[in-house]
Structure 1
C-alpha cells in the first residue's frame, strides 16, 4: 500500500503523474495541436530533435577536417602518424566510450517521459563514473601503443609520431567521459539546439587554438592533438554552463523547482547492474559495426594494389563518416521519442514514432544513394589526383551509395531498439549481419573465388547492410509495444522487477486493452 500523503500525489497512484509534476515535453503540445498521434506531427517532433544534432555533428566533422589540414601542412610523417593514431584511438577508445554512454538512452528517455527527472541525474552521474573507470584500461593501452605498433610491423618513425599524438590525446578520454553522457542527458529532455550552438562556439576557437599550439608554441603534431582536446573541452564547458544557468540538474523541471515525488529511493530505482548491462550491450552494438570498417582498412593492405586501395578506402570512409551524421542524428532522435512515449505509458505513440523513424531512415537512404552516385566522378578529386586511387574510389562510390539504402534505416532501427531498452538485440543483429554475412561475402568477392578486388570488398559491405536492415526491420515490426510499455515501468522501478510471470501477463493484457486509448493504466 502507498503511504504517501495526498499533497505529494505519489507516482504509485497512476502511471501518469499530475501535469505540474511532469517536465513538459517540448514536442507534445505542438503534436496535440497538429493532430494528436498523427504521423505528420511525429515527423515534426523527430525533425525538431534531429536537426540540431545534425548541425552539431557537421560542425564537429569540420573540426576533424581542420585538424587533418594542420597535420597535412606539417608534412607526410605527421599526417601519417596522426592518421594512424586517430584510427587506433577510434578502435580502442572513442568507440568504446561512445557505446557505453549510449546505455543512458533508454533510462533517460523513459524516465523523462514518466516525469522522473531525478533518475536522469542519477543516470548521468553513474554513466560518467562508468566511463571514467573504462578510461583507465584504455589509457594503459594507449601508453603501450608504441610497442604494440612496432611489434605489428609498423614503420618505427610513423609509430613514434603516432605515439606523440596519442599521448597528448590522453586528457581527451576524461573530457569525453563527461561530454558523451551530458549530450545524452540533454537530448533525453528534448534539448538539442544548445548542442549546435556549443559546437559552433567551440569550432570558432579551434583554428586560433591550433595556430597558437602548432605554430606559435612549435608543438607541431603534439599541438594538433592538444588542440582537439581543447576544442572538446570548450564544447563540454559550454554545455555545462548551459545546464548550470538553466537549472537542469538535481532533478529540476527546468524552472528551478524539483519535480514532485522525487525521492532518494527513485534515484536508486535503476540499479548499477542494469546500467552496466545496458551500457555494455549498447557498446557492443556500436563497436561491432565501427570495428568492421577498420578491419576493411586492414584487408585493403593485402589487395592487388595495397597503397591505392588503402588511400581509396580512407577517402570512402571519410565519405561514409560524413553521410553517417544524418542517420546517426535521426537514430538519437528516434530513441528519445520512443523512450518518451514508453515512459509515459503510450505504446501506440511509441509504435508510431518507431515507424516514422524507419520511414525517415529509408528517405535518408535514398538521398544518400543519389548523392554518392551523382558525385562518383568528382568526389575523389577533392582528395587526390592519382589515377589509380580515383579509379578505385569511383568504382566503389555507387556501391557505397547502395549500402546507404540499408545503413540509414537500420541505424534508425537501432535507435528504436535502444529507446526501448533492447540494445542486446541490436548487438546480435550486427554480429549476424556484419560478421556472419558481410565478412565472408567481402572475403569471397574480394579474394577468392570471385577476385573482384576492391569493389568486391565494398559489395560485401552492401550485403552486410542489407541483411542488417532486413533483420532490424523485422525486429521493430514484431515488437509488442504494450509489453515494452510494461518493461519501461519495470525499468523505472514502478513495477517490482521480481514479479512472477503471471503478474507480468496480467499487466501486459491490461496494457493491450488500454492501448487504443493512448494511455496505459496499471491496476495494483
Structure 2
C-alpha cells in the first residue's frame, strides 16, 4: 500500500512539474506572440504610407525592403541568435559575468557586420539592375535602402538586447516597449513622410524611430529594475581569438539557419515569374507569404520560449527538466500545427478576398491554402525543435537540416512539380510541404535521440573557461 501511495505521489509531482513548465512556456510565448503581431503592423503601416505616396514609391520601397531583408536584417538576426544558447545556459548556471560578456561581444560583432552591410547598401544599384528593375523604381529603392541604414543599426542594438532580456525571462517590459513604439509609429510616419514631405526617406526613418523607442523603453526597465541583470559593467572584454571562438562557432550556423529559410521564399517569388501566368502567381504568392508570416508567429513564439527554458535547464544542470520541456514543447507545437491547418481549411474561400478581387488570384489562393495548412503541420514541430536545438547550443545541426530540407528536398520537388508535372503555382507549395515534412522528421529525431546528460555537461563547459568551451563545442 505504501508503495502505491508513493507511486501516486510521484505521478502527481510529475504532473505539477509539467504544469509549471507549461505555465513558464506560456508566459514567454504569449508575450512574444504579442510582440510579433505588433511587429507585423509596423511593416503594414510602412507599406500603407508607401502606397499613399504613389505606385513607384510602393514598388521601390517593396523592392528595397525585400533586398534589405535578405542582405541585412536576416544576417543581423542570425548573428544575434548565436548568443542565445550561451546566455540562457549562463543565466541558468548563474554565471552572470559570462552572461554580460557574451552580450557585449555579440553587440560588437553585429555592429561590425552592420558597417559592412551599410557599405553594400550604399552601393546597391548593381544589385537592383541584376533584378531587372526599371530606372524609376531603382531610383526610389536606392533612396529607401540608404535611409534604412539607421534602422539596420537600431536592429543591431535591439536583437541582442531582446535575447539578453528574454533569457532572464523578462518579456513583459519588451511587450510594453514594442506597444508604445507602435502607438507612435503612425504619427511619426505621417510627420516625417507627409508633413515634412520627406517621402520614402520619412517612411524609412520612421521605422528606425520605432526601433529606437523600443530600445529606450527596454533599457529604461533594466536601469530601474532591482532584480534584472544589466548588460553594462566595467569589466573589459578579452580580445584573444580563443575567447571569441565559442561565440563565433554558434553565430555562423545561426546565420545560415535563418538565411537559408528566408532565401528559399525569395527564390519561390522569382520562380513565380517564370510561370505562364506570372502576374497572378506573384500576387497569390505575396498573399500566401503574408499568411504564412502570420501563422509563423505562433510556432516562432514556442521556438523562443523553448530555447530559453531548455538553455536555462541545461545551465542549471537539470537534464531531466530540459528533456521534459523539449517533449512537452513538441507536443504543444503539434497541436498548434493542427489548429493552423484547420484555420486554412476554414478560410480558404474567403481569405484571398481580404486582399484582392482578381478572380485568377483568388482561385490560386483558395487552391493553395490547404497545402499551406499541410506545410504548417510540419512547420510548427520543426520550428519548436529548432528552438530546442538552439537552447542546447546545436545550431550547426539545425543549419544542416535546413539546407538539406529546403535545398536538396524542397527546391527540387518544387521545380519538378511546377514545371515538369505542369502543376504550376501549386507545385511550389507542394515543394514547401516536402521541405517542412523532411525538416520536421529530422529535427524531431535529433531531439528524441538527444543525450541530455551530455548536453548538460556541454552547457557547463560553455559557461566556464575558454579551453573547455573549445573542446566541448568541437
> Out of 460, 464, 468, which is 1:493 matched to?
464
Report the Cα offset of residue 433 of structure 1.
0.5
Q: What per-residue deviation string (whole Å, max 9, x for no partner) do you get for residues 377-410 of structure 1? A: 1111111111111111111111011100000110
- State the match for 1:477 in structure 2: 448
> Would the aligned equivalents of 1:122 and 1:267 in 2 still touch at CA under 8 Å?
no
> Out of 185, 192, 198, which is 1:206 matched to?
185
> Would the aligned equivalents of 1:365 and 1:408 in 2 still touch at CA under 8 Å?
yes
- State the match for 1:235 in structure 2: 214
Q: Does 1:458 align with 2:458?
A: no
Counterparts of 1:474 and 1:58, CA distance in 2: 31
Cα 1:387–1:103 shift into 2, 3 Å: same
- State the match for 1:176 in structure 2: 155
Counterparts of 1:472 and 1:338, CA distance in 2: 15
Q: Does 1:411 align with 2:390?
A: no
Report the Cα offset of residue 152 of structure 1.
3.5
SS of residue paired to 1:153:
coil
Q: Does 1:97 align with 2:63?
A: no
Report the Cα offset of residue 40 of structure 1.
2.2
Counterparts of 2:48 and 2:471, CA distance in 1: 60
| Structure 2 counterparts to residues 126-205 of structure 1, below 5 A | 126-205=105-184
Counterparts of 2:235 and 2:407, CA distance in 1: 45
- State the match for 1:348 in structure 2: 320
Counterparts of 2:344 and 2:442, CA distance in 1: 24
Could you list the runs of 4 or more consecutive aligned residues of structure 1 that deviate by over 6 angstroms after TM superposition? 262-270, 498-501
Q: TM-score, normalising length from structure 2? A: 0.93
> Would the aligned equivalents of 1:266 and 1:493 in 2 still touch at CA under 8 Å?
no
SS of residue paired to 2:468:
coil
Q: Which has the higher helix share?
A: 2
Gapped runs of 5+ residues in structure 2? 1-11
> Would the aligned equivalents of 1:392 and 1:454 in 2 still touch at CA under 8 Å?
yes
Report the Cα offset of residue 268 of structure 1.
9.5
SS of residue paired to 1:497:
helix
Counterparts of 1:361 and 1:70, CA distance in 2: 36
| Structure 2 counterparts to residues 307-326 of structure 1, below 5 A | 307-326=279-298
SS of residue paired to 1:331:
helix
Cα 1:364–1:142 shift into 2, 3 Å: same
Q: What per-residue deviation string (whole Å, max 9, x for no partner) do you get for residues 431-453 of structure 1? A: 110011000000000001x1100
Report the Cα offset of residue 360 of structure 1.
1.2
- State the match for 1:428 in structure 2: 400
Report the Cα offset of residue 240 of structure 1.
1.2
Aligned residues: 461
Q: TM-score, normalising length from structure 1? A: 0.84
> Would the aligned equivalents of 2:88 and 2:391 in 1 still touch at CA under 8 Å?
yes
Kindly report the root-mean-square deviation, in angstroms, between the aligned alpha carbons of the 2 structures. Answer: 2.4
> Would the aligned equivalents of 2:222 and 2:230 in 1 still touch at CA under 8 Å?
no
Q: Does 1:82 align with 2:82?
A: no
SS of residue paired to 1:447:
helix
> Out of 15, 32, 39, which is 1:60 matched to?
39
Gapped runs of 5+ residues in structure 1? 1-32, 253-257, 505-524
